A and B are shown apart, each in its own frame.
Chain A
């Protein structure tokens, strides 16, 4: 028996377009990913550097929530692989990794490690999920997510030249009618019999739009953090969430928002975001050093007449007693140059009863634009953030 001729079915574009059959399953998977992200949001926000980043930045999220569980072997068993020749007993060929990332790619067998992969989401999505996580009322969220155009444009009258989309049809027609009426008075009867009265170039009226640079369009956020103690995931999460909200909010108000990270223990230094949130140094704390550094940076780079300055300091409030006066003095100076200066004391639940607090000391500072908040848990972030802005609005109004 001979093999019948093979059937070839040619490619048809319409099939391809119709056959997005994975759409529903992808959507459902996506939902599960979102859920997994929500469950791990504290870890992600605490680990990823996101504060100064654009909204379309892709964030890598390690996925732990959408594994497909089965009975599988652990990694105590030997496997077989191919070498490049001359492999010797005792050679190290890889790392045993219980985090599930296969050290040896394509190991024989079907190890669960294959299930572990990173997914990409945009910052925008992460913000979305984060705001859900913080249980913002919808209304507020929309307000925060408003994005202003980088350059404001304003309508400024009408012109006779312009581009097609800005043609003002109503005004153009009126101009024509006006011209027609005007000509009728002058015209002879011969002219009047003509039933066509075409538009003339002079009738065309365009809306004129001129860019208007927004005044006060620059802002700088000074993030000052106490890195004396150990910043655990929760503290990092709380601080980062707060700074992140501040940054995102200011982005909606200003064209250009810069961000400065200052880490301090007994000395202060300007650092990167990664260092800012990962640094943990032992030793004492001089809060004044952080404020002095901030003042110095403002003096050097951000003149208050050109920049809107927002400073926010996160600390667990454990300062050397001898520094308190200096800290208060520096805080006062900082409040003078800032639009808004906030102090957030981060004390995850339970710890505040046996640690000292700067909140008492800062009671003596009464500047309109100074605000203190106590953050104990993630639910506190949003109310304290709102309180802070209320202060800001009050001052503006």
Chain B
């Protein structure tokens, strides 16, 4: 595949694509493209696309892994990589054909529109993305070069922080209350309400809220909690926890909208390319490429395929006049635009994945049975609900167990009590054990995690004697 194009060709096609983008009503940030070769692309992928990022061995690992997969042809490189920033930054592979570049540019505008308009991204401050990551990198490097700290100590804290980075609040659109505000609420709630019939009612018993409890209510932000409640952490350690937490917050919206976002970009690159009146050879190549992208992955889920299928289905259903009349009068396109603003994968699937579509896509639920994985539900009358529920649980942050700090002074000896909100899925023990060790490293005192293992309430404990587990009655 030779490069039979130059920058002017890209600019020409970009101009035509932008016309379509506006015609279709997408609202994008300004767009910047950087042309790179596969070495750079691998590096960008390993560092989440950021031109500047703090060093950690896990990115070296990611790079090696990507490169190995690429070298052995197990996996190609993505045609494109887009990062959520304003202006939006995207990388194009230099060695791709002109057709792929056109397809990619159109796809990028789809992501760009999604980043700008989906509510999950409201908190990401895209104007500052690049400078924030740069500032983080500078601070981490400074700590590593500081002779009183050093690379090893920094790495140890980063290892622990990375392990806990996703143990945080999921719905970022809701503001986090400070501990003082929570205490105020507790006080408020415990105050007896004025009762007009107090002469005939028994006065309610006054229950004094435990305002000294830390945290006043279960806290999901593990890194921030450790940072704010372990006075023995050094300032630089606290700063590292802050950095890792901030970066995780930036990525959570992307985790939460993977299916929607890829489906959306795919839907629009198809609309745009179909309307561009491409010359015949480009058009044929585009059809082949597009079909590769949206190929179903039997035995797995291809988010491009699933996402596109749902977007197409929304458009089809709402464009049917009868359906529209019954469901609030929006056209297919209006419904799509409203959805791209207000949903995340879980709600997207809940609202728009119909039993018919489940059947059509042959989605099924599998469960472990002995040594095998066995199909436990399919998209028929009895099974579709179950398939759908299970899928919803397995997307976005649904794959991250919910674990909250319940007590920083458990047993009155500063033991940290964490509680896993068990929803039928057990934790992987080997991983729980090693992760608890990281919590212990940051808390510096005994840590207890309450969870369920095979139906029994269990305490996993990590302290200076190592790991232990105790089944509760």
Binding site for B on A (CB under 8 A): 2-11, 15-16, 19-22, 24-32, 66-96, 103-110, 112, 117, 119-120
Contact = CB atoms under 8 A, between A and B. Distances in A.
Interface in B298-353: 298-302, 305-306
A83 B60 contact: no
Given A70-B166, A92-B373, A96-B368, A112 B428 contact: yes
Given A22-B46, A81-B364, A110-B399, A8 B10 contact: yes
A94 B21 contact: no
A77 B18 CA distance: 45
A80 B364 contact: yes
Contact of B387 (A8, A74, A80): A80
Interface string B253-290: 00000000000000000000000000000000000000
A22 B63 contact: yes
Given A70-B431, A82-B363, A96 B32 contact: no
Interface stretch (B174-182, B192-200, B207-215, B376-384): B376-384
Identify the 5 closest CB pairs spanning chains A and B, nearest first.
A25-B60, A106-B300, A29-B60, A26-B60, A77-B425
A21 B51 CA distance: 10
A25 B56 contact: yes
Given A30-B60, A74-B427, A120-B68, 18 more contacts: A24-B55, A25-B63, A26-B60, A26-B63, A70-B400, A75-B428, A77-B426, A79-B390, A81-B298, A86-B362, A88-B375, A90-B375, A91-B374, A92-B373, A93-B299, A94-B373, A103-B373, A108-B300
Given A22-B59, A92-B373, A104-B299, A80 B22 contact: no
Given A6-B30, A75-B368, A82 B361 contact: yes
A73 B11 CA distance: 47
B430 to A, nearest CB: 8
B65 interface: yes
B21 to A, nearest CB: 6
B408 interface: no
B299 A73 contact: no
Contacts of B40: 15-16, 19
Nearest to A105: B300
Nearest to A21: B43
B425 A76 contact: yes
Interface of B: 7, 10-11, 14-15, 18, 21-22, 28, 30-37, 39-40, 42-43, 46-47, 55-61, 63-65, 68, 87, 94, 105, 155, 162-164, 166-167, 296-302, 305-306, 361-378, 383, 387, 390-391, 394-395, 398-401, 403, 420, 424-429, 431-432, 434-435, 438, 454
26 contacts: A2-B22, A7-B30, A8-B7, A8-B10, A11-B37, A22-B59, A25-B56, A25-B63, A69-B434, A70-B400, A70-B431, A71-B401, A71-B420, A77-B424, A78-B390, A80-B364, A81-B301, A82-B362, A84-B296, A87-B362, A87-B364, A89-B378, A94-B299, A104-B300, A110-B400, A117-B68
Contacts of A92: 372-375
B425 A73 contact: yes
B11 A25 contact: no
Nearest to A73: B425
Nearest to B401: A71
A78 B364 CA distance: 10
A283 to B, nearest CB: 32
Contacts of A30: 60, 64
A388 B371 CA distance: 49
Nearest to A4: B30
Contacts of A11: 35-37, 94
Contact of A107 (B18, B60, B300): B300
Contacts of A107: 300-301
Contact of A109 (B55, B63, B167, B399): B399
A8 B64 contact: no
Contacts of B364: 80-83, 87, 93
A19 B431 contact: no
B30 A80 contact: no
Contacts of A108: 300-301, 391, 394-395
Contacts of A28: 55, 57, 60, 155
B163 A29 contact: no
A16 B426 contact: no
A305 to B, nearest CB: 48
Contacts of A117: 65, 68
Contact of A16 (B22, B37, B46, B398): B37
Contacts of B377: 89
Contacts of B376: 78, 89
A70 B435 contact: yes
Contacts of A27: 60
B36 A16 contact: yes
A87 B362 CA distance: 7
B366 A81 contact: yes
